[in-house]
């Protein structure tokens, strides 16, 4: 990818956890077209095994940001820097195969580089994503959920170090959605990688300890779900759709219950 320059990282005195070892940095990246700014001054570091969820309203520039990271678009301002050679995996929002094109599931999966995983590891992916019965089916006959499972398997078979999922659960039934979320939430060690997940599913996004980036052309707020949920920027954009689960926080005042005195 021409816009990304791999750079050797010199070791600092501070040890960095594997999750936080830098993989990719966006430096003040903007994308303009026809004098319209679709992405504005985005700076973002992605750690080597970090999961980042990207949320934002329709038209906020999320897919444009994904295309910039994939190298399908070049930043018109700023730059993207890879700290290690990138192996990208991508599951798009939509994928349709024309009925006229014969393409079986096994043809799609066969495009992956077989040298990157062992046979057992490849079988594990197919088994976890329940693909055994689909292998001979035509892609254009698959349902939305089946297609997303195939695309996720295809992406993982290349053992990416950065997996980008652009609203992968759109239109899926709750069972398929739960299956895919459970799978990406607990990838086995041999598939552990950085993930950037664009999602409108606030209940998944705000669960757990993934870093959340809220994009509205620029990054309007980011952080851990609990920190983010109380920011005015998040409240403005999503407050009416998302109620933070009640969390009891012990307070630090001096009074004691009678039995403690």
Ligand X SMILES: Nc1ncnc2c1ncn2[C@@H]1O[C@H](COP(=O)(O)OP(=O)(O)OP(=O)(O)O)[C@@H](O)[C@H]1O
Residues that bind ligand X in the complex, under the rule CB under 6 A:
33-34, 36, 38, 56, 58-64
Q: Is residue 75 helix, strand or coil? A: coil
Q: Is residue 48 helix, strand or coil? A: coil
Question: Smaller CB distance to ligand X: residue 33 or 99?
Answer: 33
Cβ partners under 8 Å of residue 57, min gap 6 = 216, 237
DSSP at 259: G
- The DSSP-derived string for 200-244 is --HHHHTSTT-EEEEEESEEEEEE-HHHHHTSHHHHHHHTTT--P
User: Burial letters for 52-78: b for 16+ Cβ neighbours within 10 Å, e otherwise?
Assistant: bbbbbeeebbbbbbbbbbbeebebeeb
Gap between the Cα atoms of 150 and 139, Å rounded:
9
- Min separation Cβ 54 and ligand X, Å: 9
- Min separation Cβ 3 and ligand X, Å: 17
Question: Smaller CB distance to ligand X: residue 38 or 229?
Answer: 38
- Min separation Cβ 25 and ligand X, Å: 20
Question: Smaller CB distance to ligand X: residue 105 or 238?
Answer: 238
- Min separation Cβ 43 and ligand X, Å: 18
- Min separation Cβ 113 and ligand X, Å: 29
DSSP at 71: T
Quick check: 55 and 234 in contact, CB under 8 A?
no
Question: Smaller CB distance to ligand X: residue 72 or 99?
Answer: 72
Question: Smaller CB distance to ligand X: residue 22 or 168?
Answer: 168
Question: Smaller CB distance to ligand X: residue 146 or 167?
Answer: 167
In the structure encoding, which two tokens stand for residue 61, read together? 């520039």
- Min separation Cβ 143 and ligand X, Å: 21
């Amino acid at each position: 990818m021409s816009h990304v320059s791999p750079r050797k990282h010199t070791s600092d005195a501070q040890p960095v956890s594997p999750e936080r070892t830098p993989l990719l940095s966006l430096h003040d990246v903007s994308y303009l077209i026809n004098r319209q700014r679709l992405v504005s001054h985005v700076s973002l570091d992605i750690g080597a095994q970090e999961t980042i969820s990207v949320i934002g309203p329709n038209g906020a520039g999320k897919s444009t940001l994904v295309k910039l990271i994939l190298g399908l678009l070049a930043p018109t301002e700023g730059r993207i820097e890879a700290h290690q050679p990138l192996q990208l995996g991508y599951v798009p929002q939509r994928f349709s195969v024309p009925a006229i094109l014969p393409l079986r599931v096994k043809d799609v999966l066969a495009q992956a580089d077989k040298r990157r995983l062992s046979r057992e590891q490849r079988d594990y992916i197919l088994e976890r994503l329940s693909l055994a019965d689909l292998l001979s089916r035509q892609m254009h006959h698959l349902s939305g959920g089946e297609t997303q499972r195939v695309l996720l398997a295809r992406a993982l078979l290349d053992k990416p170090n950065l997996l980008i999922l652009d609203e992968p659960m759109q239109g899926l039934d709750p069972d398929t959605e739960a299956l895919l979320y459970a799978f990406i939430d607990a990838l086995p060690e041999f598939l552990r990688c950085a993930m950037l997940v664009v999602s409108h599913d606030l209940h998944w996004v705000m669960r757990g300890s993934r870093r959340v980036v809220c994009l509205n052309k620029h990054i309007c707020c980011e952080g851990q779900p609990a920190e983010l949920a109380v920011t005015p920027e998040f409240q403005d954009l999503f407050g009416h759709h998302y109620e933070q689960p009640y969390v009891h926080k012990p307070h630090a005042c001096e009074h004691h219950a009678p039995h403690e005195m």
